[in-house]
Amino acid sequence: MIGRQDALVVIDATLTFMPGGGLAVQGGDKVIAPIKRILPLFPEDKRVFTLDVHEVGHISFASSYVDLPNFYVLTYEEVAQWTKEDSKIGPKAKFTVDDLKLYLRRIHHQTLWPDHGLGKEAGKHQAFAEYDGVVVRKGLEPTRDSYSAVRDNAGRELVLLPIIKQMRPKKIFVCGLVYRYCVGWTALDLADLGYQVTVVKDATQDLGDEAGHEEMNMFFKTAGVRLTTTRELIG
Ligand SMILES: [Zn+2]
């Protein structure tokens, strides 16, 4: 099923999304074993590890604001009235009111996350230390969040795109964290570019509720993104 020209993209399988991490997903560490099983199936020059890396003051952090809790959904309507003198942007923020308005005008809403992707938590997981591959960082731009590693939430192209183009893969397999966010958006963007994309489902983890999971499955179906399992890949 896997050829020499096929690529594997391991999305954000870092400590920050695993139990104990800044934005821990229940069972996030369960992706490690299945990913390690499929990594050897791909040549080193066809493996990519993406990392979600931020600095304090990022536009997606609740801690960049005053009196807004984690997981609050900030909308353009809410910030439209904010001014330089009167806003909920806190002292740590590395963006301005104008940056925020411009960003939310494009994407309409942004979930405010707990601090994550900081320091060692954001690095390549030591479980994958022996597996070489290209490392791609996203999220370093303080004025934009980025779920997809192909383009950020406001549509600007990111570094995964030229890397994938250079690899010229026949098929791209995607795994990692989290199914409905960074895995899903990356898979959809790659499919949108014309690649044949398959998500290795048991090498991913999603949040608990079914509705968001089914919504991403529907997007996958519409975009032609396929699903497979590590068992099928290993054959
Ligand atoms: Zn992030």
Ligand 1 centroid, distance to 75 Cα (angstroms): 18
Distance of alpha carbon 9 from alpha carbon 183, whole angstroms: 9
User: How confident is the chain (235 residues) per 10-residue block, as mean pLDDT?
Assistant: 93 98 97 98 96 98 98 97 96 97 95 97 97 96 95 90 95 98 97 97 94 96 98 93
Ligand 1 centroid, distance to 221 Cα (angstroms): 26
Query: Global pTM?
Result: 0.96
Ligand 1 centroid, distance to 139 Cα (angstroms): 6
Ligand 1 centroid, distance to 63 Cα (angstroms): 13
Domains detected in the chain = 7-54+132-234 (3.40.50.850), 62-111 (no CATH)
Ligand 1 centroid, distance to 147 Cα (angstroms): 7
Q: What is the pLDDT of residue 1?
A: 77
Phi, psi (deg, nearest 5) at residue 135: -105, 125
Asked if residue 195 lies in contact with residue 172, where contact means CB atoms within 8 angstroms, the answer is yes
- Angle at which helices 184-192 and 210-223 pack, to 10 degrees? 10
Ligand 1 centroid, distance to 79 Cα (angstroms): 21
Ligand 1 centroid, distance to 76 Cα (angstroms): 20
pLDDT in tens, 90-137: 999 999 999 999 999 999 999 999 999 999 999 999 999 999 999 999
Ligand 1 centroid, distance to 25 Cα (angstroms): 13
Asked if residue 155 lies in contact with residue 108, where contact means CB atoms within 8 angstroms, the answer is no
